[in-house]
Amino acid sequence: MSERGWKHNGLYRKYRIAKADDSPLDPGARYFPLRYDGTDPNAELALQVYAASVRAYNPKLADDLLAALKNPAEAPEP
């Protein structure tokens, strides 16, 4: 499969997901990682929308996401 990224490929398995604390993943869960370092403007928009959505009940997460968008190099590593 070509590695041309978000502009050309459909949904396919590109990453392996693991929890940072090594606890098991829910086998029925689905994840969609986003690269928000400026490479994919759609990912940036998705994080902005997510931050707005969670702000009412988790303002710290909303603020952290928006700060990460402003300076991805300072955000926690995956």
- Identify whether the C-beta of residue 41 lies closer than 8 Å to the C-beta of residue 27: no
pLDDT at 28 over 90: yes
Q: Maximum CA pair distance of the chain? A: 41
Name the DSSP class of 24.
Answer: P
- Residues 37-70 have pLDDT tens digits of 888 899 999 999 999 999 999 999 999 999 999 9
- Identify whether the C-beta of residue 47 lies closer than 8 Å to the C-beta of residue 34: yes
| pLDDT tier at 76, thresholds 50, 70, 90 | confident
Tell me the Cα Rg of the chain.
14
Query: What is the pTM assigned to this prediction?
Result: 0.79
- Identify whether the C-beta of residue 32 lies closer than 8 Å to the C-beta of residue 25: no
Average pLDDT over residues 21-45: 93
Domain ranges of the chain: 5-74
